[in-house]
Amino acid sequence: MSASEILRELDSLKDAKAKIEHKISALEAQLREIHLRNDAAPLNGSSSYSTNGLTQDMIHRYSRHLMLPAFGVQGQANLLKSSILVVGAGGLGAPALLYFAASGVGRLGIIDHDVVELNNMHRQVIHTEAYVGKPKVKSAAAACRSVNSTIQVVEHEEALRTSNALEILSKYDIIVDATDNAPTRYLISDCCVVLGKPLVSGAALGLEGQLTVYNYNGGPCYRCLFPMPPPRTACQSCAEGGVLGVVPGIIGCLQALEAIKIAASVGEPLSGRMLLLDALSGRIRIVKIRGRSMHCEACGENATFTQQKFREFDYEKFTETPLRVPPLKLNLLPNESRISSKEYGEIILTKEPHVLVDVRPAHHFKIVSLPKSLNIPLSTLEARLPEISSALKKEEEDSGLVSGSSAQLYVVCRRGNDSQRAIQCLHKMGFTSAKDIIGGLESWAHNVDPNFPTY
């Protein structure tokens, strides 16, 4: 069998396996139902036991909740009757969803438009390798069902927009914001205000996390705290800035805790307060934040934010950020100042005398780099120009170039944006023939050497 035949066979077997597993869990659930019905009508005809509406199976499954004086039968019964929507089945949503399913949230909604990628799996612990390339909603829903087949799991395989948000969010009691970008965060908060839903909001990046509950019991909404959106450059994503997997895991678990408290009507939800996690120094601080703002455009005294206005609001324009963040693609240079990754491949093959400067940060350069490249991060470029001059001179000597001709200077980065900024700087500083590699190392991996690791 060829590799592609094996892959096809594997795919079809995995499909069949998933179908069989689904059938097994459906039959098991059916069997439990039958047992429950039999339990409810004992053969000897005696009256049913007083269990506050919980079935025998529920009492067994949730027994450790029921024994908690502060939670008890009432807390569990409230939870079983509640519905929670998790927006985003990523690093925050993954643990939150697992705990919601396990704890018996009656109806659990999942909305996401992405597919599972290998570089998600270090933090998005709900997904398994078998689901790489498949929709996150499908993967997360299957995991939730395998944890608890007695709850209802609803799949929304789509992106959240102003056109569908009101309809989807209105079907749930509590909304959990587990998304990864500014426009969606404003969109969800405004929609929760319009619909009067509590919002459990979490965020994580790098080694830090933040958590609070918005629009709960007269507390502030997202806009009360952040009436103006931050500049685009202040909003890094996990894909750009990196994130330690366990950090969103912790925040996601805390989101589950807050939502479960609200759903069960126990304890004090984290409204009017914000939890700040600094994982590196091992510090958690809980700070007091402002209350509802009278002047808030969404929830203030004279606010006119209606369903109609929500539907028409342009969140991408407001935050100057696209909802679906495509990788930034700058085009700052004329064509003659650029070469393709394939052309650079030719240059290596023909041993053309040249120097390759890699302008990524040093910790990126350590992950992987092209042979003989010189790492000068963009932020230090101006100060380190003499190093480039001497590298060019050495290359000219080593390759025995006749005086008068010179070695060429090329610049590369991860995706081909910073390399253009570097070329602009180099041109200004006298390296007028310097060129960048279009699309950077990602293009190299894509078009020249598929074995080159990408990150």
Partner 1 sequence: MQLTLEFGGGLELLCDSKKIHNVNIEQQNGENKLTMKDLLSWVRTNLIKERPEMFMKGDTVRPGVLVLVNDCDWELSGQLETSLEEKDVVVFISTLHGG
- Map the footprint of partner 1 across residues 252-281, applying CB under 8 A: 274, 276, 278, 281
Residue whose CB is less far from partner 1, 91 or 104? 91
Q: Of residues 42, 53, 218, 227, which one binds partner 1 by CB under 8 A?
A: 227
Give, as ranges, the residues between 46 and 105 that touch partner 1 (CB under 8 A).
88, 90-93
Structure-block tokens of residue 412: 């590369």
Give the whole-angstrom CA distance, residue 250 versus residue 257.
11
Q: How many residues bind to partner 1 according to rule CB under 8 A?
A: 46
Look up residue 75 and give its amino acid: G
3-class DSSP state for residue 111?
strand
Does position 383 interact with partner 1 (CB under 8 A)? The reply is: no
Taking CB under 8 A as the criterion, the residue among 146, 237, 265, 399 binding partner 1 is: 237
Minimum CB–partner distance for residue 254 and partner 1 (Å): 13
Per the annotation, the verdict on 191 as an active-site residue is: no
Which DSSP category does 376 fall into? -
Q: Is 447 annotated as a binding residue?
A: no
**Active-site residue, from 144, 235, 238, 253:** 238
CB of 109 to partner 1, least distance (A): 17
- Check residue 231 for interaction with partner 1 (CB under 8 A): yes
The reply, when asked if residue 354 is annotated as ligand binding, is no
Cα-based distances in Å from 294 to 223, 277, 299, 313: 11, 29, 8, 21
* Among 230, 327, 399, 455, interactor with partner 1 by CB under 8 A: 230
- Write out the DSSP string of 162-211: TTTHHHHHTT-SEEEE---SHHHHHHHHHHHHHHT--EEEEEEEBTEEEE
Q: For partner 1, which is the closer residue by CB, 321 or 341?
A: 321
Q: What would the two tokens of residue 324 be?
A: 């679906």
The dihedrals phi and psi of 174, each to the nearest 5 degrees, come to -135, 140
With respect to partner 1, which residue has the nearer C-beta, 89 or 445?
A: 89
Site string for partner 1, 154-183 (x = CB under 8 A): ------------------------xxxxx-
Grouping H, G, I as helix, E, B as strand and the rest as coil, residue 402 is coil
Strand partners for 374: 357
- Output the smallest distance, CB 70 to partner 1, in A: 26
Instruction: Output 31 or 286, the one with its CB closest to partner 1.
Output: 286
Residue 14 Cβ vs partner 1, minimum distance, rounded to whole Å: 29
Site for partner 1 in 14-43 (CB under 8 A): none
Residues 281-300 binding partner 1 (CB under 8 A) are: 281, 285-290
Catalytic (active site) residue 192:
no
Instruction: Say if residue 112 carries a ligand binding annotation.
Output: yes
> CA angle, corner 163, sides to 159 and 166, nearest 5?
95
On whether the CB atoms of residues 133 and 86 are closer than 8 A, the answer is no
Tell me the one-letter amino acid at 150.
T
CB 255 within 8 A of CB 96: yes
136 annotated ligand-binding residue: yes
Residue 221 identity (one-letter amino acid): C
42 burial class (0-12, 13-18, 19+ CB within 10 angstroms)?
Answer: exposed
CA–CA separation, 407 and 354 (whole Å): 5
Compute the Cα dihedral for 182, 162, 221, 217 and give only its sign. negative
The residue from 104, 202, 219, 300 that contacts partner 1 (CB under 8 A) is: 202
Establish whether 331 is an annotated binding residue.
Answer: no
Q: Give the residues lining the site for partner 1 (CB under 8 A).
A: 88, 90-93, 178-182, 185, 202-206, 208-210, 225-231, 233-238, 241, 243, 248, 251, 274, 276, 278, 281, 285-290
Residues annotated within the binding site for Zn(2+) are 221, 224, 296, 299
The catalytic residues are: 238, 413
